[in-house]
Structure 1
Amino acid sequence: MAIVYPETRQLPDKPDAKAPDGSDVRVLLNLPRGGMAHFELAAGRTSAAVTHKTVEEIWYFLGGRGQMWRKQGDQESVTDVLPGLCLTIPLGTHFQFRSLGDEPLAALGVTMPPWPPEGDAIPVTGIWEPSAE
Protein backbone atom coordinates (compact mmCIF):
# COMPACT_ATOMS: atom_id res chain seq x y z
CA MET A 1 0.00 0.00 0.00
CA ALA A 2 1.30 3.45 -0.92
CA ILE A 3 2.22 5.83 1.84
CA VAL A 4 0.03 8.95 2.03
CA TYR A 5 1.93 11.93 3.34
CA PRO A 6 0.18 14.54 5.49
CA GLU A 7 -0.87 17.62 3.53
CA THR A 8 -1.87 21.17 4.40
CA ARG A 9 -3.75 23.63 2.21
CA GLN A 10 -5.17 27.11 2.66
CA LEU A 11 -8.65 27.82 1.23
CA PRO A 12 -7.98 29.09 -2.32
CA ASP A 13 -9.00 32.67 -3.14
CA LYS A 14 -10.60 31.58 -6.41
CA PRO A 15 -12.75 28.52 -7.16
CA ASP A 16 -11.06 25.45 -8.64
CA ALA A 17 -14.19 24.44 -10.53
CA LYS A 18 -17.87 25.02 -11.14
CA ALA A 19 -19.92 22.09 -9.84
CA PRO A 20 -22.59 20.58 -12.10
CA ASP A 21 -25.17 22.11 -9.74
CA GLY A 22 -23.75 25.59 -10.43
CA SER A 23 -21.94 26.22 -7.15
CA ASP A 24 -18.30 27.31 -6.93
CA VAL A 25 -15.96 24.59 -5.64
CA ARG A 26 -12.65 25.06 -3.88
CA VAL A 27 -11.08 21.64 -3.48
CA LEU A 28 -9.25 21.35 -0.18
CA LEU A 29 -7.64 17.97 0.47
CA ASN A 30 -8.21 14.35 -0.51
CA LEU A 31 -7.31 10.95 0.88
CA PRO A 32 -7.96 7.69 -0.94
CA ARG A 33 -11.42 7.20 0.65
CA GLY A 34 -12.68 10.78 0.93
CA GLY A 35 -12.11 14.45 0.39
CA MET A 36 -13.10 17.89 1.57
CA ALA A 37 -14.21 20.84 -0.51
CA HIS A 38 -15.68 24.29 0.06
CA PHE A 39 -18.92 24.93 -1.83
CA GLU A 40 -20.36 28.40 -2.34
CA LEU A 41 -23.56 29.55 -4.04
CA ALA A 42 -23.86 33.29 -4.68
CA ALA A 43 -26.54 35.31 -2.88
CA GLY A 44 -29.98 34.89 -4.39
CA ARG A 45 -28.97 31.92 -6.59
CA THR A 46 -30.59 28.50 -6.90
CA SER A 47 -28.57 25.43 -7.84
CA ALA A 48 -29.50 22.89 -10.46
CA ALA A 49 -30.88 19.66 -8.97
CA VAL A 50 -28.58 16.63 -9.21
CA THR A 51 -27.86 13.18 -7.84
CA HIS A 52 -24.49 11.43 -7.78
CA LYS A 53 -23.55 8.02 -9.21
CA THR A 54 -20.74 7.24 -6.73
CA VAL A 55 -20.45 10.02 -4.14
CA GLU A 56 -21.98 10.51 -0.70
CA GLU A 57 -21.54 13.83 1.07
CA ILE A 58 -21.72 15.46 4.48
CA TRP A 59 -22.16 19.24 4.41
CA TYR A 60 -21.46 21.70 7.25
CA PHE A 61 -22.74 25.22 6.59
CA LEU A 62 -20.35 28.09 7.31
CA GLY A 63 -22.13 31.24 6.11
CA GLY A 64 -25.23 32.67 4.55
CA ARG A 65 -28.69 31.20 4.80
CA GLY A 66 -30.76 29.13 2.47
CA GLN A 67 -32.65 25.91 1.92
CA MET A 68 -31.69 22.37 0.91
CA TRP A 69 -34.15 20.00 -0.78
CA ARG A 70 -33.39 16.30 -0.57
CA LYS A 71 -35.36 13.40 -2.03
CA GLN A 72 -34.66 9.72 -1.62
CA GLY A 73 -37.25 7.36 -3.05
CA ASP A 74 -40.68 8.64 -2.08
CA GLN A 75 -39.41 10.64 0.92
CA GLU A 76 -38.43 14.28 0.49
CA SER A 77 -37.83 17.30 2.67
CA VAL A 78 -36.78 20.94 2.56
CA THR A 79 -34.39 21.99 5.33
CA ASP A 80 -33.65 25.60 6.28
CA VAL A 81 -29.85 25.94 6.40
CA LEU A 82 -27.67 28.42 8.25
CA PRO A 83 -24.20 28.45 9.81
CA GLY A 84 -23.63 25.55 12.18
CA LEU A 85 -26.06 23.13 10.51
CA CYS A 86 -24.72 19.79 9.28
CA LEU A 87 -26.57 17.40 6.93
CA THR A 88 -26.00 14.29 4.86
CA ILE A 89 -26.55 13.56 1.18
CA PRO A 90 -26.51 9.75 0.96
CA LEU A 91 -25.76 7.99 -2.32
CA GLY A 92 -28.68 8.27 -4.75
CA THR A 93 -30.26 11.29 -3.04
CA HIS A 94 -31.65 13.97 -5.34
CA PHE A 95 -30.74 17.40 -3.97
CA GLN A 96 -31.00 21.09 -4.76
CA PHE A 97 -30.19 24.17 -2.70
CA ARG A 98 -30.69 27.89 -2.79
CA SER A 99 -29.11 30.91 -1.20
CA LEU A 100 -31.52 33.31 0.46
CA GLY A 101 -30.44 36.73 1.65
CA ASP A 102 -27.60 39.09 0.82
CA GLU A 103 -24.56 36.86 1.25
CA PRO A 104 -23.39 33.64 -0.41
CA LEU A 105 -24.37 30.28 1.04
CA ALA A 106 -21.12 28.55 1.98
CA ALA A 107 -20.50 25.00 3.18
CA LEU A 108 -17.67 22.56 3.79
CA GLY A 109 -18.40 19.25 2.16
CA VAL A 110 -16.85 15.89 2.95
CA THR A 111 -17.15 13.69 -0.12
CA MET A 112 -16.77 9.91 -0.11
CA PRO A 113 -14.99 8.98 -2.33
CA PRO A 114 -13.13 12.24 -3.09
CA TRP A 115 -14.95 14.98 -5.01
CA PRO A 116 -16.39 13.33 -8.09
CA PRO A 117 -14.92 13.02 -11.53
CA GLU A 118 -16.57 14.57 -14.60
CA GLY A 119 -19.91 12.91 -15.32
CA ASP A 120 -20.65 11.70 -11.78
CA ALA A 121 -23.50 14.18 -11.25
CA ILE A 122 -26.76 13.39 -13.03
CA PRO A 123 -29.29 16.20 -13.59
CA VAL A 124 -32.71 15.57 -12.01
CA THR A 125 -35.90 17.58 -11.64
CA GLY A 126 -35.86 19.70 -8.50
CA ILE A 127 -38.51 21.78 -6.80
CA TRP A 128 -37.15 25.25 -7.68
CA GLU A 129 -36.23 26.83 -10.99
CA PRO A 130 -32.40 26.93 -11.13
CA SER A 131 -30.68 30.27 -11.73
CA ALA A 132 -29.48 30.85 -15.28
CA GLU A 133 -25.70 30.79 -15.62
Structure 2
Amino acid sequence: MRLPATADLLAPDGSEVRVLLSFAAGGMAHFSLAATQVSRAVRHRSVEEIWYVLSGAGEMWRSHGGHEEVLALCPGLCLTIPVGVRFQFRAADAGPLAVVAITMPPWPGDGEAEAVAGTWAATVGG
Protein backbone atom coordinates (compact mmCIF):
# COMPACT_ATOMS: atom_id res chain seq x y z
CA MET A 1 0.00 0.00 0.00
CA ARG A 2 1.04 3.60 -0.47
CA LEU A 3 0.66 6.42 2.02
CA PRO A 4 -2.82 7.95 1.55
CA ALA A 5 -2.77 11.50 0.17
CA THR A 6 -5.16 12.77 2.85
CA ALA A 7 -5.75 11.94 6.49
CA ASP A 8 -8.25 9.20 7.29
CA LEU A 9 -9.11 10.69 10.68
CA LEU A 10 -7.88 12.70 13.65
CA ALA A 11 -6.30 10.82 16.53
CA PRO A 12 -7.63 11.46 20.04
CA ASP A 13 -4.54 13.63 20.57
CA GLY A 14 -5.50 15.79 17.55
CA SER A 15 -2.82 14.63 15.10
CA GLU A 16 -3.75 13.63 11.54
CA VAL A 17 -3.79 9.87 10.96
CA ARG A 18 -3.29 7.95 7.75
CA VAL A 19 -4.14 4.31 8.46
CA LEU A 20 -1.68 1.84 6.97
CA LEU A 21 -1.58 -1.96 7.23
CA SER A 22 -2.40 -4.28 10.14
CA PHE A 23 -2.30 -7.87 11.38
CA ALA A 24 -4.12 -9.45 14.32
CA ALA A 25 -1.16 -8.59 16.58
CA GLY A 26 -0.69 -4.94 15.58
CA GLY A 27 -1.34 -2.09 13.20
CA MET A 28 0.67 0.67 11.55
CA ALA A 29 -0.28 4.30 10.95
CA HIS A 30 1.28 7.58 9.84
CA PHE A 31 0.77 10.57 12.15
CA SER A 32 1.43 14.20 11.34
CA LEU A 33 1.26 17.47 13.20
CA ALA A 34 1.63 20.83 11.44
CA ALA A 35 4.39 23.28 12.38
CA THR A 36 3.91 24.85 15.83
CA GLN A 37 0.97 22.58 16.71
CA VAL A 38 0.76 20.90 20.11
CA SER A 39 -1.16 17.67 20.59
CA ARG A 40 -3.61 16.96 23.35
CA ALA A 41 -2.06 14.95 26.20
CA VAL A 42 -3.38 11.38 26.45
CA ARG A 43 -2.65 7.95 27.84
CA HIS A 44 -3.57 4.62 26.30
CA ARG A 45 -5.65 2.14 28.28
CA SER A 46 -4.58 -1.10 26.56
CA VAL A 47 -2.21 -0.52 23.63
CA GLU A 48 1.49 0.19 23.43
CA GLU A 49 3.22 1.90 20.54
CA ILE A 50 6.58 2.14 18.84
CA TRP A 51 7.15 5.46 17.05
CA TYR A 52 9.68 6.28 14.34
CA VAL A 53 10.16 9.93 13.33
CA LEU A 54 10.26 10.29 9.55
CA SER A 55 10.62 14.06 9.14
CA GLY A 56 10.36 17.35 10.93
CA ALA A 57 11.33 18.17 14.48
CA GLY A 58 9.63 18.67 17.80
CA GLU A 59 9.40 17.35 21.33
CA MET A 60 7.69 14.46 23.13
CA TRP A 61 6.73 14.62 26.80
CA ARG A 62 6.25 11.29 28.59
CA SER A 63 5.28 10.70 32.22
CA HIS A 64 4.75 7.54 34.24
CA GLY A 65 5.21 6.46 37.83
CA GLY A 66 6.74 9.73 38.98
CA HIS A 67 9.27 9.84 36.11
CA GLU A 68 8.88 12.62 33.56
CA GLU A 69 10.95 13.46 30.49
CA VAL A 70 10.95 15.60 27.35
CA LEU A 71 12.65 14.06 24.31
CA ALA A 72 13.80 15.97 21.22
CA LEU A 73 12.11 14.48 18.15
CA CYS A 74 14.16 14.35 14.94
CA PRO A 75 14.29 12.13 11.85
CA GLY A 76 15.60 8.66 12.65
CA LEU A 77 14.57 8.68 16.32
CA CYS A 78 12.64 5.63 17.53
CA LEU A 79 10.79 5.58 20.87
CA THR A 80 8.20 3.58 22.77
CA ILE A 81 4.97 4.53 24.50
CA PRO A 82 4.09 1.73 26.95
CA VAL A 83 0.52 1.18 28.17
CA GLY A 84 -0.51 3.83 30.72
CA VAL A 85 2.25 6.34 29.93
CA ARG A 86 0.95 9.91 29.67
CA PHE A 87 2.33 11.63 26.58
CA GLN A 88 2.07 14.77 24.50
CA PHE A 89 4.03 15.99 21.51
CA ARG A 90 4.56 19.16 19.56
CA ALA A 91 6.03 20.17 16.21
CA ALA A 92 8.77 22.76 15.89
CA ASP A 93 8.33 26.03 13.98
CA ALA A 94 10.23 24.90 10.87
CA GLY A 95 7.63 22.54 9.42
CA PRO A 96 5.36 19.55 10.00
CA LEU A 97 6.33 16.57 12.13
CA ALA A 98 5.70 13.14 10.54
CA VAL A 99 5.86 9.85 12.42
CA VAL A 100 5.04 6.24 11.62
CA ALA A 101 3.83 4.14 14.56
CA ILE A 102 3.11 0.50 15.28
CA THR A 103 0.24 -0.11 17.72
CA MET A 104 0.08 -3.43 19.59
CA PRO A 105 -2.53 -4.83 19.74
CA PRO A 106 -4.33 -2.96 16.92
CA TRP A 107 -6.21 0.20 17.89
CA PRO A 108 -9.46 -0.97 19.57
CA GLY A 109 -11.48 2.17 18.83
CA ASP A 110 -13.15 4.97 20.75
CA GLY A 111 -12.31 5.15 24.43
CA GLU A 112 -8.78 3.74 24.09
CA ALA A 113 -7.08 7.11 24.62
CA GLU A 114 -7.89 8.95 27.82
CA ALA A 115 -7.28 12.72 28.02
CA VAL A 116 -4.84 13.69 30.78
CA ALA A 117 -3.14 16.85 32.02
CA GLY A 118 -0.13 17.62 29.85
CA THR A 119 2.90 19.83 30.04
CA TRP A 120 1.96 22.25 27.20
CA ALA A 121 -1.29 23.94 26.18
CA ALA A 122 -2.81 21.91 23.33
CA THR A 123 -3.55 23.64 20.04
CA VAL A 124 -5.30 20.64 18.40
CA GLY A 125 -7.69 17.99 19.67
CA GLY A 126 -10.83 18.20 21.77
Please give the TM-score of this superposition, normalised by the length of structure 1.
0.91
Verify the 8 A CA contact 2:16 2:32 in the aligned structure 1.
yes
Helix, strand or coil at the partner of 2:3: coil
The superposition leaves residues 95-126 of structure 1 with CA deviations (integer Å, 9 ceiling, x where unpaired) of 00000122111100000011341111000000
What does residue 25 of structure 1 align with? 17
Residue 124 in structure 1 maps to residue 116 in structure 2: yes
Task: Give 5+ residue unaligned stretches, structure 2.
Answer: none
Residues in 2 aligned to 1:103 and 1:24: alpha-carbon distance in whole angstroms: 15
Q: Which has the larger radius of gyration?
A: 1
Counterpart amino acid of residue 63 in structure 1: S
Secondary structure at the counterpart of residue 58 of structure 1: strand
Deviation per CA, 1:7-33: give whole Å up to 9, x if none: xx1100001110010000001001001
User: Residues of 2 paired with 1:121 and 1:99: CA distance?
Assistant: 20
**Match 2:78 to one of 86, 106, 116:** 86
- For 1:40, the equivalent position in structure 2 comes to 32
**Structure 1 unaligned blocks of 5 or more:** 1-8
Residues in 2 aligned to 1:116 and 1:39: alpha-carbon distance in whole angstroms: 17
Which whole-Å CA distance do the structure 1 matches of 2:16 and 2:108 have between them?
14
Residue 127 of structure 1 aligns to which amino acid in structure 2? T
Partner residue in 1 for 2:54: 62
Structure 2 counterpart SS, 1:43: coil
Q: 1:52 — aligned with what? A: 44
1:65 and 1:27 map into 2 onto residues whose CA distance is 22
Give the whole-Å Cα distance in 2 for the aligned partners of 1:12 and 1:113: 22
Bigger RCO (CA 8 Å, 6+ sep): 2
CA RMSD of aligned residues (A): 0.9
Instruction: Please give the per-residue CA displacement for 1:38-65, whole angstroms capped at 9, x wherever unaligned.
Output: 0001111000000011110000000110
- The sequence identity of aligned pairs, in percent, is 54
Residues paired across the two proteins, number = 125
Give the SS at the match of 2:98: strand
